[in-house]
C-alpha cells in the first residue's frame, strides 16, 4: 500500500545541515497497522509527513496505493491527500467550528453537497460514539473525545490510509487504550491501512502487526510483531524497547501502565 524507497530529508539549521531522515526504505502492506517507534528526534514524524508530502523528500521514491506521489502535480496531490487521513498528537481541531462542522470539513473542502455531508458526518460520529457531542465546540471536550473527533474527521472521505502521529501521547493511559481500540476497530471495519508513530512500545504491542525502529534518521530494524519474542535485537535502542515490550506481554493490560521513553 505504501512503499518508501531510499528516502532522505535534510533540514537547514543554524549550524549547518541536519539529516532528519537518511536512506529509509519501508514497505507497508494493505491492512497493516504499522508502528514506527523511536526516541524523540529520531525522524519519525518527518518520515510520516513525507507519506502525504507535508514534507518533501530530497531524494528517494514514495508510492501510495500504486501511485508515485512525487510525480503528482499540485492539483493531483491535493486530490491524493483526500485518500490519506491524518491525526495528530494535539488533535488540531478547528476551535471555532462545532464537532459536527469539524468532521464535515474534509467533505466541505472536497465540494460534497450539504445533504450528503450530513449523512456521512453522522455516520462517522457514530463510529467514534460521539453523536451526542455533535453541537459542542472542541474546547468543551476532553482530550480523548477530541482525538475521537479527529479520527472521525480523518475517515469522512473514506481514505485508504490513516497516518497517526503520536495519537496517544497527549492523553492519560486509560484514554490511550480507548483511542487505540477505536483505531483497531476502524481498521477492522473499514479495512484501512494505519501507520502509527509513537515512542511507546506498549502502543506498538497493543495494536500493531509490524514495527520499524528508528534512530538518528535511520530505520535500524523492522519486522512483524509476532517475531519479537524470538528475535535478537541488534541495536541498543531495540534492546531497550523490547525489554519493555516483554514486560508488557508478561503481565498483559495492566491498568495505567505507562511506559514513557524519550
Partner 1 sequence: MWDRISPILPEMQLALWQTFYMVAVSVTIGVILGTLVGTLLYITRPGSLLKMPATNAVLNVFVNIFRSIPFLLLTIAIIPFTRLIVGTAIGTTAAIVPMTISCIPYFARLIESTLLEVNRGVIEAAESMGANRFQLVWKILYSEARAGFANNITILTVSFISYSTIVGIVGGGGIGDFAIRYGYNRYDTEIMMITIVLIIVIVQVIQSVGNLIVKRLDKRI
Ligand X SMILES: Nc1ncnc2c1ncn2[C@@H]1O[C@H](COP(=O)(O)OP(=O)(O)OP(=O)(O)O)[C@@H](O)[C@H]1O
Contacts with Mg ion by CB under 5 A lie at: 45
For residue 100, give the 3-state DSSP assignment: helix
Residue whose CB is less far from partner 1, 64 or 241? 64
For residue 85, give the 3-state DSSP assignment: strand
Total chain residues near partner 1 (CB under 8 A): 30
Smallest gap from residue 116 Cβ to partner 1 (A): 17
In terms of residues, how long is the chain?
262
Smallest gap from residue 238 Cβ to partner 1 (A): 30
Determine the residue with CB nearest Mg ion.
Answer: 45
Q: What angle do CA 232, 234, 238 make, to 5 degrees?
A: 90
For residue 207, give the 3-state DSSP assignment: helix
C-alpha to C-alpha distance for 99 and 188, rounded to whole angstroms:
24
Site string for partner 1, 118-147 (x = CB under 8 A): -------------------xxx--------
Q: Does 79 bind partner 1 (CB under 8 A)?
A: yes
Q: Which residues contact 90 (CB under 8 A, 6 or more apart)?
A: 170
Of 1, 36, 57, 81, the one binding partner 1 (CB under 8 A) is 81
Residue span binding ligand X (CB under 6 A) among the ranges 43-51, 57-65, 93-101, 247-255 = 43-51
The maximal CA–CA distance of the chain, rounded, in angstroms, is 55
Four-point Cα dihedral 103, 109, 114, 119, nearest 10? -40
**Which residues bind to partner 1, rule: CB under 8 A?**
52, 54, 77-82, 84-86, 88, 90, 92-97, 105-106, 108-110, 137-139, 150, 157, 163
Amino acid at each position: 500500500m505504501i512503499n518508501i524507497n531510499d528516502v532522505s530529508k535534510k533540514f537547514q539549521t543554524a549550524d549547518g545541515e541536519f539529516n532528519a531522515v537518511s536512506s529509509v526504505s519501508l514497505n507497508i502492506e494493505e491492512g497493516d497497522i504499522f508502528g514506527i517507534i523511536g526516541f524523540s528526534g529520531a525522524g519519525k514524524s518527518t518520515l510520516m509527513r513525507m507519506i502525504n508530502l507535508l514534507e518533501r523528500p530530497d531524494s528517494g521514491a514514495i508510492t501510495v496505493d500504486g501511485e508515485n506521489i512525487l510525480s503528482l502535480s499540485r492539483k493531483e496531490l491535493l486530490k491524493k491527500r483526500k485518500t490519506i487521513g491524518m491525526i495528530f498528537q494535539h488533535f488540531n481541531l478547528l476551535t471555532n467550528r462545532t464537532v459536527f462542522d469539524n468532521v464535515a470539513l474534509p467533505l466541505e473542502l472536497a465540494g460534497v453537497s450539504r445533504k450528503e455531508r450530513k449523512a456521512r458526518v453522522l455516520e462517522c460520529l457514530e463510529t467514534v460514539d460521539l453523536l451526542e457531542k455533535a453541537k459542542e465546540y472542541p474546547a468543551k471536550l476532553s482530550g480523548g473525545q477530541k482525538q475521537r473527533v479527529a479520527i472521525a474527521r480523518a475517515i469522512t472521505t473514506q481514505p485508504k490510509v490513516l497516518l497517526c502521529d503520536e495519537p496517544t501521547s497527549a492523553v492519560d493511559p486509560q484514554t490511550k487504550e480507548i483511542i487505540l481500540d477505536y483505531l483497531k476497530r476502524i481498521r477492522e471495519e473499514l479495512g484501512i491501512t494505519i501507520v502509527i508513530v509513537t515512542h511507546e512500545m506498549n502502543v506498538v504491542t497493543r495494536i500493531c502487526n509490524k514495527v520499524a525502529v528508528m534512530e538518528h534518521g535511520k530505520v535500524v530494524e523492522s519486522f512483524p510483531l509476532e517475531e519479537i519474542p524470538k528475535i535478537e535485537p541488534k541495536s541498543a535502542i531495540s534492546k531497550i524497547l523490547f525489554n519493555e515490550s516483554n514486560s508488557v506481554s508478561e503481565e498483559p493490560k495492566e491498568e495505567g501502565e505507562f511506559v514513557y521513553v524519550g
